[in-house]
Structure 1
Amino acid sequence: MTAEPDIDSIAADLRYKLTARLADAGRLHSPQWRAAVEAVPRHEFVRRFYRETDAPGLTTWAPVTPELSGAEEWLRQAYADDTLITQFDGREIDWTDPQPISGAHPTSSSTLPALVVTMLEELHVHDGMNVMEIGTGTGYSTALMCHRLGARQVTSIETDPDIAARARDALNRCGYAPRLIVGDGLAGDPGGAPYDRTIATCGVRHIPHAWVRQTRPGGIVLTTLRGWMRSLGLVRLTVGHDERAEGRLVAGDPSFMIARQQDAPESLGMIPGPEAGVSRSTPYGPDTLTRPGSGFVAQLAMPGARFFTMPADDGTPCTYVLDDESFAVLTPKSGDEWHVRQGGSVALWDVLEDSLDTWRAADSPMPTEFGVTVTAKDQRVWLGSPDGPNWRLPIPAEDTDSSA
């Protein structure tokens, strides 16, 4: 008879190895956070999950459970430095008969530990501080904060009731009882304010001013800025006495799902007709939108845009950039030249080229050379200093403070 694996011993060993890898990679510095990673059993928060496969074609995820993969393999994957998917398209997974999933949209996950600990280190917490977390998710990062600060110092908000319930169960199994709220994380928690630190484990197109108002002066708001085309980066803001917050991007392109309340509309909009708009040549092709540096600038320059590529009726590859009623269409010309045809209220490609010129004139700086200023009425990303070149973040009217 084969002996049952000792789950606790195997998991403890894997935690120590994960901690060592994160420390060796320069992700984990603080002894307190190191102790938290060594102590918190990540496998309790990912008892069942999906991992991306290398199957060709549509992106495909395969289920991983102790029953399907074996307990030891499940544990090995649970302690890998990978993002583990726990929900697709906002719907619960049928775990009675889990099957590979293709072409779906992940909507909840346990983020790769390297990014989790990077954010926690950048939060600069001290004993006795209280923290508001936006996006409980599986509850793993919540548990790490409970271990570091004490559960009474942690408030976590999750918009999805099913996800929140699973996180609560996992936290209870691990002996943590933070304050958990099911609600709109973008609205924060005025009842528990002010907080010393606010951390968001989702991407946002702009900083909800409620987070600034609910963080005490001198406190920190840490979140990922992103748009509908790509992520911009992890930003750490210090809150001032006038409900103003300012700070710099501290890491480029972290991968967090966008907050559901700020996700893009399903419809991309109307595709322009073949004769619409005004054409000209441009040195910038579609790869401008996807390369690390220029893609960052493109997201700043066109915050409401999305793009896709499809052939025209004659087979010519066309890249469409759409933003409400404005558009730009890119087609090959010759050599390094492209045709761009644009129209609508905003000449999107002109705006992009102006921003790229500004960026290149500054020697194409990395995202960490950019900063963010947030006020009750306005939010801007700036290059170099608050007085330098800047780009406005998209803020709906309901998220501005008309009394300010």
Structure 2
Amino acid sequence: MEWKPHAAALAAQATHPLSPWWAPATDVPRHVLVPRWFTPGPLGWTAVDGPADKETWAAAAYADTTLVTRVGPVHVDQAAPGQTVTGLPTSSSTLPSLVVSMLEHGRLAPGLRLLDVATGSGYSAALACHRLGDEMVTTLDVDAYLSEAAAERLERIGYHPDVVTADATAELPGVFDRIVSMVSVPRIPVSWLRGLSPQGRLVTTIAGTGLIVTADKTPDGGATGRIEWDRASFMAARSSADYPPRLDELFAASTEDGEVALSPFPVLDVMQAWELWSMLSLTAPGIEHRTGTDDHGGRLAWMLHPDGSWAWARTAPGERTATVHQGGPRRLYDLLDEIRWRWLEHGELPVYGAQVTISPDGETTLSRGGWAATL
């Protein structure tokens, strides 16, 4: 494959010629790191074999898009070409522009030791090795197969970082000047603070939100920083082969009437309204969102929570309000409406741009304009 022109085109999307990440983006052959991937379809995720169709392979590998490489416990390397599997994505090669953005937030420079959390395909580790040198990069993943496959493919293209299989939230394999995570965490693990050198910097996202945390270590062993104004969403860190199953039983039960009320707002896809979704996730972590339409074209939305709370709402065609049904210990849709009222009253929500304070024991507090939330 003549991959260099494809990589140059990708670099033009992911970064710019004056960026220190321009050369890594143009020189790393991403297709070698992602020879196979899953594509979504109505019945599940279908395995695609890149070498079987090099044009398709080049188009996918050098597009600024995320390529799913693992669904549930099944890695695409272990699936037959054309095989369809069901489940939630559990690993991927993240879209390159987002990888570059996270590395930029890390303020990396030669001479700094990096821990790249979530090896995945190895693409972020390859970019970092190009910029920092192999000996300055450690990359970690919870999945042994992912680590082994990435190490072999990285070696094939000339990069030799230290590749470690470990739980990202457990003790780290050393001390690092920078920790940049390509998975999200519910709050900053204490082990990251212990594994961060004095004046070191960490970059991650908060699980269930679009919030990027950047924080610098403080003399007391904690860290301070901010929620960046740009946004990102990653898979949540996991310590086992798969994520917990979806709340299908609660979803089925949510067809009951429950308490019925009228919302002054139309149904929306919460997860596409980043600021709203992030604020709601901080207020009530763990909500599962689903959307759909009914036979008459009405917009539907469901909110489900592991504590047994549920809500569903419908906006009829041509209407601007929603009929809401709720049950369980909490009224999830009421929480959503409270946040939407705040959004209208203030013209914004306080999550983006918030200050971040992390105590030495990992307690993470966000604050802005009199608002505060502790994770």
- The change in CA–CA distance for 1:359 and 1:237 in structure 2 (over 3 A counts) is farther
Give SS of 2:204's match: strand
- The change in CA–CA distance for 1:140 and 1:307 in structure 2 (over 3 A counts) is closer
Match in the other structure for 2:158? 175
| Aligned: 1:130 with 2:113 | yes
CA deviation string 1:295-316 (max 9, x = no partner): 333223221222335899xxx9
Q: One-letter code of the match for 2:284?
A: M
Q: What's the offset of the Cα at 1:163?
A: 0.8
Match in the other structure for 2:169? 186
Match in the other structure for 2:189? 208
Give SS of 1:350's match: helix
Match in the other structure for 2:53? 69
Q: What's the offset of the Cα at 1:246?
A: 2.7
Matches of 2:154 and 2:14 in 1, distance apart?
Answer: 23
CA deviation string 1:104-148 (max 9, x = no partner): 432222111111111111110122110111111111111111111
TM-align CA RMSD: 3.2
Match in the other structure for 2:339? 355
Matches of 2:129 and 2:178 in 1, distance apart?
Answer: 14
- The change in CA–CA distance for 1:353 and 1:311 in structure 2 (over 3 A counts) is closer
Give SS of 1:218's match: strand
Q: What's the offset of the Cα at 1:317?
A: 8.0
TM-score by length of 2: 0.84
Range moving further from structure 2, 238-247 or 357-366 = 357-366
Matches of 1:116 and 1:211 in 2, distance apart?
Answer: 20
Contact 1:226 1:258 in 2 (8 A): yes
CA deviation string 1:260-318 (max 9, x = no partner): 24986315264358364x44332234316244143333223221222335899xxx986
- Aligned-residue sequence identity (percent) comes to 31
Matches of 2:159 and 2:109 in 1, distance apart?
Answer: 19
| Aligned: 1:248 with 2:240 | no
Match in the other structure for 2:281? 299
The total of aligned residue pairs comes to 365
Contact 2:204 2:212 in 1 (8 A): yes
Matches of 1:328 and 1:96 in 2, distance apart?
Answer: 37
Range moving further from structure 2, 330-339 or 104-113 = 330-339
Range moving further from structure 2, 141-150 or 42-51 = 42-51
Match in the other structure for 2:14? 22
Matches of 2:56 and 2:127 in 1, distance apart?
Answer: 24
Equivalent runs, 1:80-229 vs 2, <5 Å: 80-93=63-76, 97-99=80-82, 101=84, 103-189=86-172, 191-193=173-175, 195-227=176-208
Contact 1:288 1:295 in 2 (8 A): no
Contact 1:232 1:367 in 2 (8 A): no
Matches of 1:335 and 1:126 in 2, distance apart?
Answer: 54
Matches of 1:152 and 1:113 in 2, distance apart?
Answer: 23
2:244 equivalent among 257, 261, 265? 265
CA deviation string 1:8-58 (max 9, x = no partner): xx222322332233345xxx7423x22222222222211223345xx6x45
Give SS of 2:268's match: helix
Contact 1:297 1:359 in 2 (8 A): no
Give SS of 1:234's match: strand
Q: What's the offset of the Cα at 1:383?
A: 3.4
Q: What's the offset of the Cα at 1:165?
A: 0.6
2:23 equivalent among 10, 16, 35? 35
Q: One-letter code of the match for 1:36?
A: P
Q: What's the offset of the Cα at 1:256?
A: 2.0
Contact 1:134 1:188 in 2 (8 A): no
Matches of 1:79 and 1:138 in 2, distance apart?
Answer: 14
Range moving further from structure 2, 368-377 or 203-212 = 368-377
Matches of 2:37 and 2:266 in 1, distance apart?
Answer: 38
Give SS of 1:155's match: strand
Q: Which has the larger radius of gyration?
A: 1
Give SS of 2:75's match: coil
Matches of 2:61 and 2:246 in 1, distance apart?
Answer: 36
Unpaired runs of at least 5, structure 2: none
Matches of 1:12 and 1:247 in 2, distance apart?
Answer: 38
Matches of 2:322 and 2:8 in 1, distance apart?
Answer: 53
Range moving further from structure 2, 234-243 or 123-132 = 234-243
Give SS of 1:340's match: strand
Match in the other structure for 2:5? 13
Matches of 1:85 and 1:280 in 2, distance apart?
Answer: 40
Matches of 2:255 and 2:120 in 1, distance apart?
Answer: 43
Matches of 1:49 and 1:309 in 2, distance apart?
Answer: 26
Give SS of 1:186's match: coil
Unpaired runs of at least 5, structure 1: 1-6, 394-404
